[in-house]
Structure 1
Amino acid sequence: MLCFSRDSEILAPVTTDRSAGGQVIHAVLQGKPATLENTLVFPPSGVIPFHGFTMYATPFCYLYDNPCAMYYTFRAFYLRYWFRLHTVSSHEQGIVALCLLFERLLQCHEPQLWTHFKNLHIQPIRIVFKWLMRGFSGHLPPEQLLYLWDLILGYDSLEIIPLLAVTILSFRKENLLQVNTQQNVEV
């Protein structure tokens, strides 16, 4: 992850994507005038790490013995998919669109569960948001996670993630209809 944070080649694709927002932190060298030559992007990759960020890279450790091959595969996957999961944007594969897709799918295919949550003032997206934002990394065993990520690659779409989230809630429907607090839903 240290290599990733210092990889300045990540900055351009993430910040030039019109739908990605492109927020970076600029710092001026201490004791220097605030000119373009004295301004640095922090971190050099333009990606500010957050709790759980390493969960995007960890599954690749199961696939590669060579750290260089693992790093470049992770970086390619991040630039293709993962940066959209923690960047607010209008992109159809962004986290906002995926949250909306989750809610629409749940409301359409599990109206009884949707109504149950609404009657208890439970926001279903709060239950699954970590799943969506992390691409289920840390929430599924590595073998299942890699199957899910294979589907993302195969369909070239992150829409698989909210579909799986709805499927899990649907599978747990009987138990979920018996709980009455969000804390009990998350257990």
Structure 2
Amino acid sequence: MASMTPETRSMQSRSTAAGRVSSRPAISSLPKPVRPQWVLVLPICRPGRVSTIRTLWGSIGWATPAALGTAVAAPDRRTVLVTGEGSHQMTVQELGQFARLGLKPIVFVLNNDGYLIERLLARDGEAAYNDVAPWRYIELPHALGCDDWLCLRVSTCGELDEAMLQARAATTGVYIEVVTGRYVSSDLALKLQTAMQAIYKAS
């Protein structure tokens, strides 16, 4: 997860991407009250782009309002939000603030039918508490006042490629629901799952 263009900032919630924690100059120079707790340096991050993430737990719901704050702080740059649908459901009302303030982010909502990281780390991934309500996500921006936003739903890599081309060219806010398999995960997340399952078996 990272910004797609040189003028982009990106945010992500509940990421399972691999990276290294670092204090990059662009972040460490910020005033302490607004400095993120962690900065994840990803292979696709380039000079002029900032990627922020809240790791592990206690932060579900953080990404959408954090992206709003990022966009307010740097309205001349394009904010890209990548968030899971479970997190998004907790603070989705902040989409309306983007429209009210005339901000034009690109939003990717990863819909994997539940709290994926919890499914991977739980003893029983199919436990009901890992489920979320099945919303019609691409209808949300319009319901919350983002009347001119481009809203798309994709479920294949080809559709995602086309959606990103449209997003790059769009002059309005963009909202893309990305539908994935229920357990599609990064290598790091799968390693965590394997480690947790070994703990369960040993206990």
TM-score computed with the length of structure 1 as normaliser = 0.28
The answer to which structure has the higher strand fraction is: 2
The answer to which structure has the higher helix fraction is: 1
TM-score computed with the length of structure 2 as normaliser = 0.27
